[in-house]
Amino acid sequence: MQSEPLPVEPESQLAALRPLVVRTVRLVVGAGSAIAEDAAQDALVELDRALPRLREPAAARAFAVRIATRVAVRAARRERRFALLGLRASAPERLATVRPDDLVELKEAFDRLPPRQRATAVLRLYVGLSEQETADALGCSVGTVKSQLHDARATLTAHLKEGSDD
Amino acid sequence: MTDSELHDMLTAFAGPPSPVPRRVRRRATPRTLLIALALVAMCGALVPAASALIHTFFESPKQFVSDTSHPARARALIENYLAHPGGPIRRPTLTGIEPELTVRTPDGRWAVYALRFAGGQVGAATVALDGHAVGGLWAGTTDPCPPGAVVETRGSFVEYPGHTPVYVEGRVSSEVASLEVEESDGRTYPAAIGNGYFLAWITPGPHASKPAGTLIARNARGAQIGAVDVGAGGAIPPSEAEVQPGCG
């Protein structure tokens, strides 16, 4: 995801940051889940309230990523608990109808990763943050970011290998 | 698995730049209402008979909690569930509990209980009777082991990484004679089976917080029917010889 200079006005900043926030939350919570869309909305509301109070407009993007990540991980954990209880809010609403099979398989395996591993992968590989920026957004060390990403790759590789063996 | 493949997948599923509006439910038409009325009438005839049968095996939550012959931990788990009706999404109303398994594990005794909820939902509770106070339950809207599976994992958790074993609980069909968890280093742990339920465990090493293992189902001849990853969960389909697949 490309990073572009942000406008100074909070309203314009929110509009510019919306795609980043919405897509980050959606990918961490699980694209296709109604809960992800609700969480994305929650993150936008939180960002809308917080942006006018932000003293350093240049930090708005990092600030938005932190909010999106926090809201998404919280929602993803809640979703996992509900999944354990069999209380998913609704059946996933597919955002796209036709996808190559391997992408769908990878996506399904990705959605089964722990929320923080998903968040790490999204921030590093989709949003394009550095290891340090990812660590700042997640409130953890760079070493943790590396190990989370390593674990995510290993789990996904194992899932896909298992799938291809069947 | 490369970063590039992951990036492609994430980009493919990133979706539109704004939240997708939730679907609006259609208004009920007269035809829908008629069908609903017919279903209610059918349920009126069928539910009392089914309920009578269920209550011969299942205790009500109140009976269970006050019955001191049940372990205190199990009664506390149910009492806790009854005392906390849930957050924004209301938990289903628990209507019946039946003991299914009590197993000696490396972390003390564990028990599995079958649960029934209002509205036809089913579930199970798994609780440590000794040692750390660990337990949990789930409720599902469908039969946890529909035709097409001989093993279906449901609840699984680890509370004290490196100390408490990882537990996996679920349903198992009569085709399965034995279940075991095999770690990547070849160590195996036998799982307990009874009354259509199973409880499997895997003891992590002193530093391993996410032990990996495979749950393997075998038939009476010792032949492997299938396997499923402990961490990912899922179901094992029946072998081709199985005539009437399904748990229970």
**B207 CB burial (10 A radius; 0-12, 13-18, 19+):** exposed
Q: Is the dihedral of CA A30, A34, A36, A40 positive or negative?
A: positive
Q: How far apart are CA B246 and CA B144, in angstroms?
A: 9
**B137 CB burial (10 A radius; 0-12, 13-18, 19+):** buried
Degrees, nearest 5: CA angle B49-B55-B56: 100
Q: Indicate whether B208 belongs to any domain.
A: yes
Closest CA to B78 of B88, B63, B90, B89: B63
Do A155 and B231 form a contact (C-beta atoms < 8 A)?
yes
Residues in chain B with pLDDT values less than 50: 23-25, 54-55, 87-88, 146, 159, 161, 207-208, 243-245, 248
pLDDT of residue A69: 95
Identify the helix (H) or strand (E) that includes residue B6: helix B3-13
Q: How far apart are CA B81 and CA B60, in angstroms?
A: 13
Q: Indicate whether B20 belongs to any domain.
A: no
Q: Would the CB atoms of B6 and A151 count as touching at under 8 Å? A: no
Q: Would the CB atoms of B14 and A23 count as touching at under 8 Å? A: yes
Q: Indicate whether B21 belongs to any domain.
A: no
pLDDT of residue B207: 47
Residues A103-151 pLDDT 10s: 777 887 888 888 999 999 999 999 999 999 999 999 999 999 999 999 9
Q: Is B88 on the interface with A (CB under 8 A)?
A: no
C-alpha torsion angle, residues A143, A135, A117, A154 (rounded to 10): -30
Interface of A with B (CB under 8 A): 18-19, 22-23, 26-27, 31-32, 34, 37-38, 40-41, 44, 82, 84-87, 89, 93, 95-96, 99, 103, 106-107, 109-110, 112, 121-122, 124-126, 151, 153-160, 162
- 3-state DSSP call for residue A73? helix
Say how far residue B29 (Cα) sits from the centre of its chain: 37
Q: How far apart are CA A66 and CA A56, in angstroms?
A: 15
pLDDT of residue B149: 65
Q: Is B14 on the interface with A (CB under 8 A)?
A: yes
pLDDT of residue B55: 45
Separation of first and last alpha carbons in chain B: 38
Which residue type occupies B80?
N
pLDDT of residue A119: 95
Degrees, nearest 5: CA angle A66-B231-A119: 10
- List strand residue ranges (DSSP E) for chain B, in order: 94-105, 108-117, 122-128, 135-140, 151-157, 166-172, 178-183, 188-190, 192-194, 197-202, 213-218, 224-229, 235-236
User: In terms of residue numbers, what domain contains B196?
Assistant: 61-236
Closest CA to B215 of B162, B248, B174, B169: B169
Separation of first and last alpha carbons in chain A: 35
B213-218: strand order across its sheet: B188-190, B178-183, B213-218, B224-229
Q: Indicate whether B154 belongs to any domain.
A: yes
pLDDT of residue B170: 82
Neighbours of B55 (CB within 10 A): 14
State how far the alpha carbon of A66 is from the alpha carbons of A26, A48, A60, B128, B220, in Å. 14, 14, 10, 38, 54
Nearest CA in chain A to B125: A85
* CATH T-level fold of A10-165: Arc Repressor Mutant, subunit A (1.10.10)
pLDDT of residue A127: 92
Q: Number of folded domains in chain B?
A: 1
pLDDT of residue B248: 47
Output phi, psi for B190, to 5 deg: -70, 145
Q: How far apart are CA B160 and CA B156, in angstroms?
A: 13
Q: How far apart are CA B74 and CA B55, in angstroms?
A: 19
Residues B3-43 pLDDT 10s: 888 888 788 777 778 887 654 445 666 777 788 888 888 77
Q: Indicate whether B102 belongs to any domain.
A: yes
pLDDT of residue A93: 38
Residues in chain A with pLDDT values less than 50: 2, 86-99
